[in-house]
Structure 1
Amino acid sequence: MKSIIKKSALLLLALGLTVSCVNSDDYSAPANDCVDPGLVANKAVLDVKNAATSSPVLYESATEDIIEGYVTSNDEKGNFFKTVYLQTLPTDGTDPIGFAIALDVTTMYGYNFIPGRKVYVKMNGLYTAVTNGILTIGALYQPAPTDTPSVGRIAEGDWKKNVFVGCEQVEESELLRHVTITQAYTNAVLGTLIEIDNVQFADGSVGRKFYDVDSGGGATNHALVSSSVPPLSFAGDGIIRFSSFASFINETVPAESGSIRGVMTKFGSTFQFMVRSQSDIHLSGPRVDAYPALVGANIQFNPTFNETFESYPTTSNYNGQTLANLVNDANIGSKYWSVRTFSSNKYAQFSSFNSNQSNTVYLAFPVLMTPGNKFSFQTKDGFNNGAVLKVYYSTNYVAGQNVDDATLVDITSNFTIASGSTSGYATNFTNSGNYTIPAGVTGNGFFLIKYTGNSTGITTTMQIDNVKVTP
């Protein structure tokens, strides 16, 4: 079962058009009077996107091509900066197309770039490119002749020549699509207004602030996970990104489950979900243990055992493997111990490297506690940048229930655990030495091996083999 910790698993990624900072979230109210620009769209956004390439191209046409879209983003609360996201509003049942316009404007809200407002774009003279899966419109950006050109922001004094905010405004409900977390982290919804249903913040984010000042940088990446049971899988890391200049950065990340509304963006190959304000976060349902303890079907309490892991299939990820004789518990985070193989030898392995979260993972071995019997195991470390293992026994832990509710006796100091392999893997496994079950410790119980790591901190790979209790 999961526990909630107050240490966030943060990811700090390079910043593109999607997010940056603003100097203030004190915005002027948009003008109440609207003068319609009197334009009519005569070009489909899909045609413009299909003609665009990954490199910026100057849009040139013998006719004055005009496209239209409806605003999905909002910089009023500071979580968006100098990029406005829009989408089409199809009437034929097809999916909307999202696109982005880069403008050198810090208060787009003040110019009525607000959700639902129709915007017209005269395309001639602008540059287009499909950047990270989304059509991007703007000016040419190439600081030096040797630099790779890209689509950058239209200058503050120039954008009104091509971009026109209309007076028509539709309700968000006309733009909004409800999606699963599986559907959300895809190119198909980039730039459009979506609401991800059945989600919650990952354990490592709960209790932290939306922007974590300890992490540095201009934004904090938290992680979303599925609150469906069983949890839905999806591409990417479930990132939801908060600018350091968002007006609600000091609010606490909630533990509850529900839905979150916003705009999916992308930097490189990494999806980054963005809310417009705290009111987009609709989490009021009970928290769901989306990554419960995986209890094997053959849990037996014997006075002796010898677990070699040879009877289990191997996996190439940490996404959840049920081991018939054991309990595999992703206590914090969404990753589990997995069985790997090398040189025809199988073993259990875990690492927080590239997990994009905090991890506390238990592997629990059932045993009939018999005073005088000896518990031992072997370990091998890889790319070691810190200690990650602790060892416990418990006589009141119940398989599948919250390990934090059990009494765990720390016996780590009795063992030798592999260390020192900082640039690769150790050649051989290290024998732990024996721990003798003390007098008075009897009955059904568990020995538990715990890995604790963090993708932004200690990520040591640890392998475990030949776990045994002998007379």
Structure 2
Amino acid sequence: MNIKKYLSIVTGAAFAAISITSCVQKDEWETPPVNCNNKFAATTMTMAAFKAQAPASGYILITNDQIFDGYVVSSDENGNFYKTISFQDKAENPTVGLQMEVDKSSNYADFPVGAHIRINAKGLRLGLDRGTVKIGSVDPTFSIGRIPASLLSRYVSGVCNGNGLEVAALKPLELANLNVAKNEQYINMLVKVPNVQFSSGDILPVNKTFIDYVAGAGTDTDRTLEDASGNNVVLRNSGFFSEGSKLLPKGNGDATFVVSRYNSSWQMLIRKTSDLNFAGARVDSAPPKGGTAIAFSGSFLENFESYSPTNLEVYPKYVNDALVGNRYWQLKTFSNNKYIQLGANSGSGPYVTYFAVPVDFTAASTLKFDVNVGFWNGNALKVYYTTNYTALGDISAATKTDITSFFTIPTAPLSGYGTLTPAGTYNIPASLTGNGYILFEYTGNGSGVTTTLQLDNIQVQP
């Protein structure tokens, strides 16, 4: 190559580079146009019309093109949904929801929350599966099978808005309380309920985490949500929930969740912990009762004969506080004798209830009471004294000294009831002075210790 030819090539290349550079100002290259095409051109029906075909039991096979739209409400990004996609018919004010079984994880990457999707159900099954209407593949083992990952695009496609996948800002359907949410019309829909909090049994005496761990591995865990009206429902969290180690929030506020049912059991599902906005103060759905005529004395006998009617829960001279659960000490009568009673039989969940008796410890020397048990299946009674509890205040914050061992609490009969008998005498130490309370604590569980306790003749002597 001679020098003239070489210079000619170099000059030409330089000129071309200058020409290209001059076409772009400040490194601002033109964005190539997005070529967004909807796989299914148009819907043929509404989701509501499609779902209405589901039989009361079993399933049907969709044999023709049935195309409808939906908006994704679930997300498996944090592990609380597994190989399912829940979606509803509208981004706000939805009327129906559905669940799709898919043999694929990380679905949030393709179909994030709010994704506008279009489904052609031809070749899929539609039916009721374990309490929920679902669509899925033909399966030799299950009535509604998981759609293989390699075939998912045959049935589901995102809807384009000209700039790629259309993702809507969902507005949860606002419901009045948790009982309203337990309705099949809301299954697989995103809802929001106000004035919700975790049950006291989930945060007291130990503040639990979203899931339990066994040998370091997360397990599927139920926690209980309650509202200001006393309604409750299970919040179900997967053992793979990435936020499972977080402590349950103690406050009160709005709960956003996807409504779910497994067979006949309602279990609500969150996508992430921020779905629970519990920044407000807790509402006590079972507040302490009585406590309006507190008088500290070093000499008295309470035999409950002056109270009526049966099942009375309000005693002005004492505090009846259902710290966990909603059961209180109640007035009962047997053989013309009145006493108070509490048990967890036929209950749901844990119960911790206190009966607080005011005492002038400076003037008092002894404490006595009568006790009886029925259908004993575990110890349910403890006795404490405290000097820093304020009537109708937070009894969980009180410093309690356990004096149960000074008394004899029956451990029989296993069936039926015994008789009220003296539990013993506690000699109040001289060092214990000032005003305080004797606390009778009942601890039971509808699925555990359900022993019935009866107390009578609570006596303090100088």
Q: Distance in 1 between matches of 2:402 and 2:219?
A: 40
* Match of residue 45 from structure 1: 47
- Residue 289 of structure 2 corresponds to residue 294 of structure 1: yes
Write out aligned runs for 1:330-409 (5 A).
Answer: 330-331=322-323, 333-339=324-330, 347-351=340-344, 355-357=348-350, 359-366=351-358, 371=364, 374-384=367-377, 386-409=378-401
* Match of residue 113 from structure 1: 111
- Residue 264 of structure 2 corresponds to residue 269 of structure 1: yes
Task: Identify unmatched segments of 5+ residues in structure 1.
Answer: 1-31, 144-148, 316-320
TM superposition shift of 1:125:
2.9
Instruction: Report the residue type matching 2:104 in the other structure.
Output: V
The alignment-based identity, stated in percent, is 28
Equivalent position SS for 2:52: helix
TM superposition shift of 1:81:
0.6
Q: Deviations over 1:232-256 (max 9, x none)?
A: 232xx43222222122223332223
TM superposition shift of 1:399:
1.5
- TM-score (normalised: structure 2): 0.77
- Residue 244 of structure 2 corresponds to residue 255 of structure 1: no
TM superposition shift of 1:276:
1.2
Q: Measured at CA, do residues 44 and 449 of structure 1 come closer, stay the same or move farther in structure 2, by a change above 3 Å?
A: same
CA contact (8 A) 2:368 2:422 kept: no
Q: 2:407 aligns with which of 400, 403, 415?
A: 415
TM superposition shift of 1:408:
3.6
TM superposition shift of 1:449:
0.6
CA contact (8 A) 1:90 1:96 kept: no
TM superposition shift of 1:79:
1.2
For the pair shown, the structure with the greater C-alpha radius of gyration is 2
TM superposition shift of 1:376:
0.7
Q: Distance in 2 between matches of 1:90 and 1:154?
A: 25
CA contact (8 A) 1:381 1:461 kept: yes
Q: How many residues align?
A: 414
* Match of residue 175 from structure 2: 179
Instruction: Report the residue type matching 2:210 in the other structure.
Output: F
Q: Deviations over 1:135-168 (max 9, x none)?
A: 211235553xxxxx63232233443333333235
CA contact (8 A) 1:86 1:191 kept: yes
Q: Distance in 2 between matches of 1:166 and 1:249?
A: 33
Instruction: Report the residue type matching 1:282 in the other structure.
Output: N
TM superposition shift of 1:214:
3.6
* Match of residue 139 from structure 1: 137
CA contact (8 A) 2:175 2:192 kept: yes
Q: Measured at CA, do residues 410 and 250 of structure 1 come closer, stay the same or move farther in structure 2, by a change above 3 Å?
A: closer
* Match of residue 101 from structure 1: 100
Q: Distance in 1 between matches of 2:339 and 2:35?
A: 71
Equivalent position SS for 1:213: strand
Q: Deviations over 1:9-53 (max 9, x none)?
A: xxxxxxxxxxxxxxxxxxxxxxx9854213322223333333323
RMSD over aligned Cα atoms: 3.5
- TM-score (normalised: structure 1): 0.75
Q: Deviations over 1:279-317 (max 9, x none)?
A: 3233333444444322255555562221269724439xx
Q: Distance in 1 between matches of 2:428 and 2:97?
A: 63
Q: 2:193 aligns with which of 192, 196, 205?
A: 196
The structure with the largest helix share of the pair is 2
TM superposition shift of 1:128:
2.0
Instruction: Report the residue type matching 1:239 in the other structure.
Output: V
Q: Measured at CA, do residues 313 and 163 of structure 1 come closer, stay the same or move farther in structure 2, by a change above 3 Å?
A: farther
* Match of residue 124 from structure 1: 122
CA contact (8 A) 1:307 1:465 kept: no
The structure showing larger relative contact order (alpha-carbon pairs under 8 Å, at least 6 residues apart) is 1
